[in-house]
């Protein structure tokens, strides 16, 4: 399971929110680049970078922060927040994003999102499926849509989506543990049997599912093996690091122990 550190940006600063509420903003660093370098120094290879100004403004805002981190570290960055147009996407990739995450756009403008998937491919486009009471939330979690989480993900899976970031909003930033039941349900419901032809021409059937990236509520290092055992492809860790619930040394040991470093 990949360990993905998280940096959320407001006004160029590294912040965290609780349950997506902008009024709970807490600044942890004035310099996101230095924070990213700390992650890199401890063996973290992946970064989830969210432009919270962009999510509110509905267009990319903090691409300079993305460019700075991408050009001065080796971190593989997935970038989200406010990506609404082809031009936003172009700016994100030109600024160094390895992947982008589309959440609100996948609900509100399906044609545009599917166009991105067709143009850039399933390795570069992540579906952001964040939910409250299993209803997909949009616009920086300021709105709840009428889309139910599991059918929403399954519909995009049929269109070719491989990577899904799912956050249970009620857990986000609360340091009360991740939503194990929700992730298990999502993993179970999206598994499908595929018939593969081996090199010898023999058919082999196996269960194929989405690459689920768990996000929200991570509070203790012991939760990571549980998420891995469930089948999560990655997990995003933010506030637990900033509040010293999980140390970078602990993460470094976990990464090295699991062959990621």
The SS3 call for residue 64 is helix
CB contact burial 211-236 (16+ within 10 A = b; e otherwise): bbbbbbbbbebebbeebbebbbbbbb
- In degrees, rounded to 5, the angle at the alpha carbon of residue 153 between the alpha carbons of residues 108 and 25 is 65
Q: Looking at 8, 51, 53, 78, which residue is catalytic? A: 8
Report whether 76 contacts 44 (CB < 8 A): no
The SS3 call for residue 223 is helix
| CA 214 – CA 114 distance, rounded (Å) | 23
Element (H or E) spanning 237, and its range? strand 234-237
Q: Looking at 51, 53, 78, 130, which residue is catalytic? A: 130
Q: Is 8 a catalytic residue?
A: yes
Contacts of 14 (CB under 8 A, 6+ apart): 7, 8, 27, 28, 29, 30, 31, 32, 35
Helical axes 149-158 vs 180-189, angle rounded to 10°: 40
Q: Is 21 a catalytic residue?
A: no
| CA 83 – CA 92 distance, rounded (Å) | 8
The catalytic residue positions are 8, 130
């Amino acid at each position: 399971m990949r360990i993905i550190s998280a940096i959320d940006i407001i006004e160029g600063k590294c912040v965290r929110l609780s349950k997506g509420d902008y009024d709970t903003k807490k600044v942890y660093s004035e310099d996101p680049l230095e924070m990213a370098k700390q992650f890199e120094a401890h063996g973290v290879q992946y970064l989830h970078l969210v432009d919270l100004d962009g999510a509110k403004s509905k267009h990319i805002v903090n691409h300079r922060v993305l460019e700075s981190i991408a050009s001065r570290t080796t971190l593989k960055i997935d970038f989200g927040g406010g990506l609404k147009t082809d031009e936003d996407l172009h700016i994100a990739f030109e600024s160094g994003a390895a992947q982008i995450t589309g959440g609100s756009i996948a609900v509100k403008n399906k044609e545009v999102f599917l166009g991105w998937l067709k143009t850039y491919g399933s390795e570069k486009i992540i579906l952001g499926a964040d939910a409250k009471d299993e209803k997909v939330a949009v616009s920086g979690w300021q709105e709840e849509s009428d889309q139910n989480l599991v059918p929403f993900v399954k519909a995009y899976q049929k269109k070719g989506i491989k990577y899904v970031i799912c956050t249970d909003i009620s857990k986000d930033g609360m340091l009360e543990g991740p939503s194990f039941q929700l992730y298990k349900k999502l993993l179970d419901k999206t598994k499908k049997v595929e018939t593969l032809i081996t090199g010898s021409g023999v058919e082999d059937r196996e269960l194929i599912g989405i690459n689920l990236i768990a996000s929200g509520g991570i509070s203790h290092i012991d939760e990571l093996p549980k998420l891995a055992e469930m089948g999560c492809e990655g997990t995003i860790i933010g506030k637990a690091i900033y509040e010293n619930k999980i140390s970078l040394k602990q993460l470094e040991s976990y990464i090295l122990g699991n062959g990621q470093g």
